[in-house]
Amino acid sequence: MKRIRVLILFLLITLFFIPHTYAVDISIKFSGGRSFFNLQSINRLMDDWVVWKEKDTEAHADWTYIGGNVSELRSGFDFAAEILVAVTSRITVGIGAGYIYSELIEDKTALTIERVVGTFLDVKPIKISALPFTISGFYFFPLSSSLRLYVMGGAGTIWGKYIEREGRRLTTKDNFNYQSFQRTSGRGSIVLAGFGFEYAFEPGMRIFFEGFGRMCQISDFQGENDQEETGTLYYFEEYIQDFEIWQAKNQIKAAAPSGENYRSVQKATVDLSGLSIRIGLVIKF
């Protein structure tokens, strides 16, 4: 948070000392692209869920585990809109908001299990969404009359949602029956830096391509589950005595779980740190 305050102060000072002889240009910037995240803890709990399903099937002599290919959650979509103020011919500051979305849908988590009453698809879909609000600075290097290279950096705050469900359906049916779900929301900070290219193809209109790295963790998730229990979302490993395995979980608890059957207990974190690639359009007012 200290780095964010320093950056905001720097940008405010920059705006205050805009040269009086320079005509300020205001533009709006729209972009969209792909982001790659560091979601190791979520992928770990999905791996452990698969192992638990295998062990649970083995414990029932009249069940058969057929399995499936559960995907990892590694990337998502990234959209943003930003108001840009060109304080000099080379320096621009921006205030923006965005939307980040990543999801493991049912088809990406489906495991096939034959039970006595029929063949089922067991699923554990996960959704992550976030709203970042940032202040950024840009420095431009003209390459030609219409092409510019720029470097950029920014910081801000981010609000996020984490939704996890677990359900199943008969393969002969269309709709899943969800036995459990968790809906939570949290917040965190975001710091980003990168570079891009901007091309003016019409007066007052520019297209751009940019790539940047992002440090961003969302934590302190609060929410409610299917039992109408409220609390904090914790990440932990629980020892399942019947199967002699440690299973990683994200679960809403009123207090942090403790005891010999729990380890690595901490507040759950969604780590959206990683890389983003975006393209978009800048329109000058």
Residue 8 has pLDDT above 80, yes or no: no
The model's pLDDT over 64-86, given as tens digits with 9 standing for 90+, comes to: 999 999 999 999 999 999 999 99
Identify the DSSP state of 110: -
Residue 20 has pLDDT above 50, yes or no: no
The residue ranges of every structural domain in the chain are 2-18+26-220+272-284
The pLDDT mean for the chain works out to 92
In a 10 Å sphere around its CB, with 0-12 CB exposed, 13-18 middle and 19+ buried, how is residue 52 labelled?
A: middle
Indicate the SS3 state at residue 73.
coil
CA torsion sign, 44 to 45 to 46 to 48?
positive
Q: What is the pLDDT confidence band of residue 24, given thresholds at 50, 70 and 90?
A: confident
What number does CATH give the domain 2-18+26-220+272-284?
Answer: 2.40.160.20
State residue 9's pLDDT score: 53
The model's pLDDT over 141-170, given as tens digits with 9 standing for 90+, comes to: 999 999 999 999 999 999 999 999 999 999
State residue 1's pLDDT score: 52
The model's pLDDT over 225-269, given as tens digits with 9 standing for 90+, comes to: 999 999 999 999 999 999 999 999 999 999 999 999 999 999 999
